């Protein structure tokens, strides 16, 4: 087996069914039956997802492996379990809602089979140097390149589907920490250290900037999901992501030189992130979530270790963005700029979510648990 597509899931039987039907079609059409397998680790306590998978197993058109966990282990527990099921030489961890594009799966299989890279690096976001391209360098240099160019400011490591790696790299990581996810439990980024290890050891990598999946209409997702408040973004990216990287240093996955690169980029990313979150905060969001967002901005400052003059500058910057400037000016300016200068269609999030901002109590229960996309 060449490639294992590993899917952690939680209570999304319809998503799983759609994904499996897509894989079934692609695999059959391109003769990939002996090259691609699907591995599903299910956190769902009921049998809905199990019944969906069993139907595909009985059809026997794709190589399919399935496990149902006795309890909901969260994404951090479930993701590594899905990766541990892989029997292919390479594995790709993907979300259950990801619908693989046929041309990309065929492309990746061809690259893996013919060129035998150590990994394929996939980014749905803009990178500093557009792909596709090859890196063939000394061991360890690829990790430095990723951290320096696009490891932080474009969330390269944040998406769980950012890499296709050698399955042996995952097993090596598993042994290093005494069983995944180990110390990374609760971080929601348990895949990040595995990616770091794979990049650290890689000598050749195929890098592509193109989407590997079908992109869902954002308006549909917004209208059917709970609101993901800005401070949640801060908590996820600027606190938990940072801590996952920090722990990776502590156990030797990243060297001091690479970590110094990360720290430098991460600081400026935090400054930029404060601004980008602020310009997207409409009036109602600002009223509800300003205090929490500012709180997590200073959690970022504490984690990073800002002291002295840099701390004072940072505090002034946060105060300017979130207190001094009228909350509606920045949002209105951004909307006008996108519509009239960039000529972009701007999704009116406030209209789509009309009514969801009316009562703060609607968010209180939500704040006590992870957003849906992190509870796989």
How would you write the pLDDT of the chain (376 residues) with one tens digit per residue?
999 999 999 999 999 999 999 999 999 999 999 999 999 999 988 899 999 999 999 999 999 999 999 888 888 889 999 999 999 999 999 999 889 999 999 999 999 999 999 999 887 555 444 556 666 665 556 776 676 654 454 455 667 788 899 999 999 988 887 765 667 777 777 888 888 888 888 888 888 877 788 865 443 443 344 445 667 777 777 778 888 888 888 888 888 888 888 887 788 878 877 887 777 676 667 777 788 888 888 988 888 888 899 899 999 999 988 887 665 666 677 777 777 887 776 554 444 444 444 443 343 333 333 334 333 4
Query: How many C-alpha atoms does 210 have within 13 Å on its Cβ side?
Result: 13
The pLDDT of residue 85: 96
CA distance 232 to 220: 21
Tell me how far apart the alpha carbons of residues 107 and 102 are, in angstroms, rounded to a whole number: 9
Domain residue ranges in the chain: 3-208, 220-370
- Note the residue count of the chain: 376
Helix (H, G, I), strand (E, B) or coil at 168: helix
* CA–CA separation, 135 and 118 (whole Å): 10
CA 220 to chain centre: 20
What DSSP assignment string belongs to 258-322? HHHHHHHHHHHHHHHHHHHHHHT--HHHHHHHHHHHHHHHHHHHHHHT--HHHHHHHHHHHHIII
346 with 339: CB under 8 angstroms? yes
- In the CATH scheme, what is the homologous superfamily, with its name and number, of domain 3-208? Spore Coat Polysaccharide Biosynthesis Protein SpsA; Chain A (3.90.550.10)
Structure tokens at 33: 């039956």
CB 344 within 8 A of CB 158: no
Q: How far is CA 310 from CA 242, 298, 315, 333, in A?
A: 19, 13, 9, 28
Kind of pairing between the strands at 36-42 and 63-68: parallel
User: 100: which residues sit within 8 A by CB, 6+ positions away?
Assistant: 5, 19, 22, 23, 26, 94, 212, 213, 214
Residue 256 CA to residue 249 CA, distance in Å, equals 7
Rounded to 5 degrees, what angle do the CA atoms 135, 155, 322 make?
150
- Residue 371 tokens read as 């957003």
Produce one character per residue of 345-355: b if its CB has 16 or more CB atoms within 10 Å, e if not: eeeebeeebee
Q: What pLDDT, on a 0 to 100 scale, did the predictor assign at position 8?
A: 95
Question: What is residue 364's predicted lDDT score, i.e. its pLDDT?
Answer: 37
Q: Quote the Cα angle for 6-8-12, to 5°.
A: 125
SS3 347: coil
**pLDDT for position 155:** 52
Given a contact cutoff of 8 angstroms between Cβ atoms, the answer to whether 23 and 100 are in contact is yes
């Amino acid at each position: 087996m060449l490639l294992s597509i590993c899917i952690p899931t939680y209570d999304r039987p319809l998503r799983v069914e759609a994904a499996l039907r897509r894989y079934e079609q692609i695999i059959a059409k391109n003769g990939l039956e002996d090259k691609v397998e699907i591995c599903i680790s299910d956190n769902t306590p009921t049998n809905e997802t199990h019944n969906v998978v069993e139907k595909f197993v009985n059809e026997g058109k794709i190589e399919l492996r399935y496990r149902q966990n006795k309890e909901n282990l969260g994404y951090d527990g479930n993701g590594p379990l899905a990766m541990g099921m892989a029997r292919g030489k390479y594995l790709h961890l993907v979300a259950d809602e990801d619908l693989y594009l046929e041309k990309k799966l065929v492309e990746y299989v061809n690259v893996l089979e013919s060129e035998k890279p150590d990994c394929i690096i996939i980014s749905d976001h803009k990178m500093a140097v557009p792909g596709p391209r090859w890196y063939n360098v000394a061991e360890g240099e690829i990790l430095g390149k990723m951290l320096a160019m696009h490891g932080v400011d474009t969330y390269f490591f944040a998406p769980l589907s950012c890499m296709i790696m050698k399955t042996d790299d995952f097993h090596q990581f598993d042994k290093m920490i005494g069983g995944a996810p180990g110390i990374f439990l609760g971080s929601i980024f348990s895949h990040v250290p595995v990616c770091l290890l794979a990049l650290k050891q890689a000598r050749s990598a195929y890098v592509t900037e193109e989407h590997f999946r079908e992109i869902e209409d954002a308006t549909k997702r917004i209208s059917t999901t709970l609101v993901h408040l800005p401070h949640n973004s801060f908590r996820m990216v600027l606190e938990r992501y940072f801590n996952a990287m920090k722990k990776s240093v502590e156990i030797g996955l990243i060297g001091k030189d690479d970590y110094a690169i990360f720290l430098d980029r991460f600081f400026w990313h935090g400054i930029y992130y404060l601004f980008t979150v602020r310009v997207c905060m409409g009036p109602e969001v600002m009223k509800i979530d300003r205090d929490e967002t500012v709180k997590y901005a200073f959690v970022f400052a504490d984690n990073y270790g800002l002291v002295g003059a840099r701390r004072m500058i940072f505090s002034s910057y946060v105060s300017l963005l979130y207190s001094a400037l009228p909350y509606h000016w920045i949002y209105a300016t951004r909307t006008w700029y996108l519509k009239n200068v960039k000529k972009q269609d701007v999704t009116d999030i406030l209209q789509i979510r009309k009514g969801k901002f009316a009562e703060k109590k609607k968010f209180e229960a939500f704040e006590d648990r992870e957003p849906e996309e992190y509870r796989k």
